[in-house]
């Protein structure tokens, strides 16, 4: 299985996991000029942008460690674009979560990082 197919399979598994816990998934593989976000959902009163990271094992570290500052900033830029395009959803509280997966478990890290503004 190639990396893209595996990534799609892991994102689908993460979406199922989140839906089973009450999250309404409203976007998958959201892409715009600012970048890409794996999943967008609504969890209670929050608009949540999810980054899904998968590793075969934790030998190289926890999957969540792969969401570095540059990736976080890119996700925040995508969230800015998305909220401008969907102004009713922009009224919801904003949150950034990470779904870290390996062959043994799925970890849902709520509030994985804070919003990083563009600084202008």
List of domains in the chain: 3-109 (3.40.1350.10)
Which pLDDT value is given to residue 8? Answer: 79
> Three-state DSSP class for 79?
helix
What is the average pLDDT across 62-79?
86
**SS3 category, 17:** helix
Asked whether the beta carbons of 78 and 96 are under 8 A apart, the reply is no
Of 119 and 98, the one with more pLDDT: 98
Query: 9-67 pLDDT, tens per residue?
Result: 888 999 999 999 999 999 999 999 999 999 999 999 999 999 998 876 555 666 676 78
Q: What pTM was estimated for this model as a whole?
A: 0.90
């Amino acid at each position: 299985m190639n990396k893209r197919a595996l990534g799609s399979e892991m994102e689908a598994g993460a979406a199922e996991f989140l839906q089973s816990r009450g999250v309404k998934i409203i976007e998958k593989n959201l892409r715009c000029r600012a970048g890409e976000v794996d999943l967008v959902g609504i969890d209670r009163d929050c608009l949540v942008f999810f980054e899904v990271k998968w590793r075969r094992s934790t030998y190289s570290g926890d999957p969540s460690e792969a969401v570095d500052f540059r990736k976080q900033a890119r996700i925040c830029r995508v969230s800015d674009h998305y909220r401008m395009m969907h102004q009713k959803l922009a009224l919801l509280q904003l949150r950034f979560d990470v779904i870290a997966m390996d062959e043994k478990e799925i970890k849902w890290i709520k509030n994985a990082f804070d919003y990083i503004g563009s600084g202008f």
